[in-house]
Amino acid sequence: MTEKCFKPPFMTDIAIAIDALTKVYAGGKRALDGVTLDVPRGGIYGLLGPNGAGKSTLINILSGMVRKTSGRAAIWGFDIDEHPRNAKASIGIVPQEIVFDPFFTPFETLELVAGLYGVAKGKRRSDELLAAVGLSDKRDAYARTLSGGMKRRLLVAKALVHSPPIIVLDEPTAGVDIDLREQLWAYVRQLNREGVTVVLTTHYLEEAEQLCDRIAIINHGKLIADKPTRELVGMAREKAVVLTLGADISALPDHGSFEKVEQTGPREVTISYNKDRANAGDVLAAAAAAGLAIVDVSTREADLEDVFVQLTRAAA
């Protein structure tokens, strides 16, 4: 294991340093298998993977909810074993599960959590945080009366009561409507502009592609990718040409440069090709030679979902 990132916080630009992290549960289930990665400070970092890949285990180790089997982790320069209190004070976790005391109001919930973190009464920001997540009008309502979306926002406020430099959002938009998702992402971007490092797990890959500066992908407990988002998306080798035709299709064309050919409409054909072996001009020429009466052409670039599927299938 390396020592390069396990330094006092003023000596590193890494928000979270993970080195050969492994977790084996009773019965032999290996949830994490030697994961090593660095989360840079000041960015929005995506942590993606299929269900059961090990993402939640990693987050739970950072939060102190799960004990690692081996390896090391440091949060804001504080080793989670050597300086657990400082490490926990440096991170706010927004969990997947919505868990509240139903008889506490949002204001009481934030005050209680702030007290547990040792935040002095004069330095607490409960009303400020409720305003930031749009819950000022629910300040004194019982938590049980809040909608699912409101509870999600309260979870974000809870994670910020001690002003941590890092916030981890574990599937924060699962089951919420589009308006709430947009509000939540606007607030996350604002936090990031103010200097908060954001770590995000999500199954909405389009969101991750739009939001994240860098993305790691975990599968079967192993790290299979960790790159800047644009570089990761650029790994996809497949592109597609969509052809609108002037006549009904009698037979789909076939050519050695085509990876896949699909009829995607009554007079529409989508042809996929590997950009290392062909280009759009080659595909159009082959389609015309096959007798297709082409009246319109559009192209589809690869996106994060294409890369995600490609990498996770290869690692299966």
Share of the chain above pLDDT 90, in %: 51
Rounded Cα distance, 136 and 113, in Å: 18
Quick one: pLDDT band at residue 123, thresholds 50, 70, 90? Answer: very high
Quick one: pLDDT band at residue 149, thresholds 50, 70, 90? Answer: confident
Query: Residue for token digits 């407990």?
Result: 221
pLDDT at 2: 43
Annotate 190-246 with three-state secondary structure.
HHHHCCCEEEEECCCHHHHHHHCCEEEEEECCEEEEEEEHHHHHCCCCEEEEEEEEC
pLDDT at 7: 53
Q: Which of 106-120, 148-162, 232-246 has the lowest mean pLDDT?
A: 232-246
The larger pLDDT score, comparing residue 11 to residue 60, is at 60
Quick one: pLDDT band at residue 191, thresholds 50, 70, 90? Answer: very high
Q: In 3D, which of 108, 110, 109, 118 has the Cα closest to residue 88? A: 118
List the domains of the chain with CATH numbers.
Answer: 238-304 (3.30.70.100)
pLDDT at 5: 47
pLDDT at 271: 87
pLDDT at 260: 84
Query: Residue for token digits 């959002």?
Result: 169
pLDDT at 46: 96
Rounded Cα distance, 194 and 196, in Å: 6
Taking the whole predicted model, whether its pTM rises above 0.95 is answered as no
Rounded Cα distance, 178 and 216, in Å: 25
Residue 174 has pLDDT above 80, yes or no: no
Q: In 3D, which of 105, 100, 104, 106 has the Cα closest to residue 131? A: 106
Quick one: pLDDT band at residue 1, thresholds 50, 70, 90? Answer: very low
Phi, psi of 61, deg, nearest 5: -65, -45
Residue 147 has pLDDT above 60, yes or no: yes
